Structure formats: structure tokens, C-alpha cells
Chain A
């Protein structure tokens, strides 16, 4: 019996995985590859499934907050891989970029290893988060510049 590796509290690991999987899903393959050039080499992996492209039906809510309805589909590419130590990584990313999905799946597997995690977080995930924060802040600033500032005239006498 192999002893279970010391994993963080599962809800904590789940929250961390949710975060890095989301960031990897919103980055393109070239960006991820560029970040990986600064990181320790990824471990070898075998493909369990994909990368393959399919559809996810996106749903809205009637009235914005009521019962769900089918809005329309979107293309999604998924990939599942296994590392030599048996760790399985998954990726589901919007769009049709097979390379992005595979890199994201390998990173998901490697990031689950507490020994590999700090270096990969520092080289790949945190820079992606910072770039995304800068992008969204810029967009929010542009939106803010188009906010209408109503002013009420001082009492007219």
C-alpha cells in the first residue's frame, strides 16, 4: 500500500485547482508556452482522452434570475492526461485550441504535486493572473470613463 501523499485539505485543493484551471482556460497556448519557458520542465505524460473539441450548451436564466433556458452552444476543447506517478490532470477550455487544452491538462496534473507547485505557480499561474488583472482593470477604466456624471444645477434664482 502506497501511503497517500500529504495533500492539502481537499476543499482547499479544489479551490486552488478551480483557480488555475480557470486562468489556463482564459490564456492561449502561445502565452502558456511562453510562461513555461521560464519554468522547470513539465513531467512526461500520457494522454488519457483527447485533446478533442466538442460543444457545451450555455444556459441563461429567464428574466436574468429565473428558471434556466438554453442560450446556445459554444465550442470547448478538453483533454485528460496522466503523469508517471499516476496523477491525472484535466482541462476544459473554451474554443478549439488543442495545444492549449493539453498544456492546461498537464499543468493541472503537475500543479497537484506539492513539490512542483510553488515553481509552477510562480512561473506560470501568477503571471497569468497578473496579466488578466491588468487587462480587466484597463477595461474597467475605459468603462468608467464613459460613465455619465449627472450634475444637478444649483438652485436657480
Chain B
């Protein structure tokens, strides 16, 4: 592709950026947003930018949101660009989500399960009525109620099913997973690579694909086995120490989607899993990811690949919003020479058609 270099536009670009800075700040008579405010009060936006930017750092995500004027895809792009400036120290040990400090844990398959249903800070059951008290700067709400916390054991729902032999076990390989940030996508993509792509994929795109599987595009009969959200420890083994240490805690959301599986000649009918895991509190994303993960497992489970959500090239090549926005928005760049040739071709065709 040929792009004509833009010359002579420097002054215009400078002025455009100055105006952008002014628009970003808005009315100077109003107090400026601080990063702490964004982090604390727009926390779910911060979580989404970390997930789609594939980089966990609340402060950087808040800065990106401020710089992008609240455009979350632009913010994810800024975070992705920043991470390329940093060295990689290594990879963590796999997060042990069964040891999560639970803030929310629900199951749609078992009403009474060990550890119970813990609603946590959720929008569920709110009436979705605009709260004008917030418009009037509602002040500080009273502290949330507390109750005696039994040392709760929170076994996985998938584990409960596995005990009965009703849940297909996961591959227990400890193989080094492929890394999208190091090697380009290649097909067929193994499940670890697919999960990495989905974890950083666009929430809206995955939500729509997940929805399509429910509406009949793909043979899905899912149940939310479990959603859990809370803090997990990140452990890392520095080579100079020779033992694993804790780097800190991060919040993640995990979704285990339980799906029917009719069985094959060699495998009995049982349940299979779709899995979602995302940085921060991102329940919709984790659920959508789990639906799409399960849909993408069609070939390995001997199911026909007929629907868009089951087509790994379609899903994995298009779920990344930073790549998608780059290619769509590049259409704004000058294509003067390309278009000149198109113009001449159309004029020629018209002359030929009219017999001149």
C-alpha cells in the first residue's frame, strides 16, 4: 500500500493537538480530574482498559483514560504502546484462583453450595433507575454492612461435578504456553493461545459473539457454573533467588461456563467447560469469554464448525480492538495516489461503456 507523506501539515497538526488538549481539560473553571479519582470512582473503566490493554497497572490505566478523554479503546492502545517500552522480567506462576480472597462468588447451577452465594458489590438487583442523588453530589455513603465471616471454603463448582465424573477434566500439561506478544498468531491455535487472545479481546465483540451462540449460531446450552471475583496472589520466581515470592495481589474475575456434551464413541456424555478470566472486575467480559472459549472448542470435541463464534480464524483475527481500530482508522490517512488511479479507471470504464 502506498501512502503519500503528509508535508506542510505540521502547523495544522500542532494547532489540532493544542485544541485537543484544551478540549480534554474542558472548562478550566471546573476542578481537574485526578488519576486517583479516576482509579477510585471509574474503577470499572480502569479494569476494562487494563484487560484490553493486556497490562495490569491501575495508575497507568487511569492516566490513559484521562489522556484519551474517556475513549477506552484509545486508552487501551496507549497502554499497549507503553508496555512495549518496558523489559520483560519473566512470567508468573499460574494464578491459583481457587485460593482467591472472594469478594463475589455466585453459581447458577447450585443454590446451596459450600461457601454459599456471595453477591459482592454488584449491579445485579439494582433497578437501573437513574439516581439523582448522585447528580447532587450525594456525599459519602454509609459504610457497607459487615457480618461475621466464617473461614469459608469455596470449592469450585467444576470440581464438585468432576468428583462425580460428570465434568471433563482439563489437560494437566505444564507446557510453556505460546505468547501472542512474542509470536504472531498461527492456526490452528491451541487453547492457551486462544485464551490469551480472548482475555485481551474487545468486550463488545466477544459479548456479541457469545450472544450469537445463545441465539442458535453454534450449539450452546450454557449454565454459569460459577463466577468468582476477588484478589489473587501473583507469585514469581526470580532466578537469583531460586524460590517463589509474592509480587502483590491483583483482582481478577473468573467464569466457569458449564456446557452439555453429548459424548462420542470413546467418551461418555458429560459436561464441558468454557473458561473466562480477566483482569479486574469484568463479569460481562469473563462470561462472554467463557462462551466463546467453549464455542472455539468445537473441533476438539468433535462438533461441527458452522457458526462465526466457532471459527477460530474469524474470532481470533478480529477480537483485538487495538488492531481493529488501527486498520479501520488507517482509512483516514491520505490515500490520494490510490484514489487517483481508481478515478482514472472509473473514467476509462465509463468512456468505454458509452462507446466514446
- Interface hit among A1-9, A34-42, A48-56, A121-129: A48-56
Residues of B within 8 A of A147 (CB): 116-119, 147
Q: Mark A138-157, 1 if CB is under 8 A from B, else 0.
A: 11111111111010000000
A83-120 residues at the B interface, CB under 8 angstroms: 90, 92-96
Residues of B within 8 A of A69 (CB): 177, 191-193, 195-196, 199
A35 to B63, CA, bound (A): 29
The listed residue with most A CB atoms (<10 A of its CB), out of B91, B119, B149, B247, is B247
Q: Are A61 and B146 in contact (CB under 8 A)?
A: no
Residues of B within 8 A of A93 (CB): 247-248
B80-96 residues at the A interface, CB under 8 angstroms: 83, 86-95
Residues of B within 8 A of A59 (CB): 91-95, 177
Query: Does residue A81 face the partner (Cβ distance < 8 Å to B)?
Result: no
Q: Mark B89-119, 1 if CB is under 8 A from A, else 0.
A: 1111111011001111000000110001111
Q: Beyond A59-B94, A72-B55, is A92–B192 a contact (Cβ under 8 Å)?
A: no
Q: Are B245 and A92 in contact (CB under 8 A)?
A: yes
A62 to B197, CA, bound (A): 13
Question: Which partner residue on chain A sits nearest B151 by CB separation?
Answer: A140
The listed residue with most A CB atoms (<10 A of its CB), out of B93, B180, B240, B248, is B248
B148 CB contact (under 8 Å) in A21, A22, A78, A144: A144
Q: Beyond A70-B180, A144-B150, is A60–B86 a contact (Cβ under 8 Å)?
A: no
Query: Does residue B14 face the partner (Cβ distance < 8 Å to A)?
Result: no
* Size of B's binding interface in residues, CB under 8 A: 86
Q: Are B51 and A57 in contact (CB under 8 A)?
A: no
A14 to B159, CA, bound (A): 32
B283 → chain A closest CB, angstroms: 15
A141 CB contact (under 8 Å) in B147, B169, B240: B147
Q: Are A14 and B243 in contact (CB under 8 A)?
A: yes
Binding site for B on A (CB under 8 A): 14, 17-18, 21-22, 25-26, 52-76, 78, 80, 90, 92-96, 136-148, 150
Q: Please, could you name 9 A-B residue pairs with CB atoms under 8 Å apart, sorted by A?
A: A54-B86, A61-B170, A64-B98, A71-B95, A71-B199, A73-B55, A76-B247, A90-B238, A146-B104
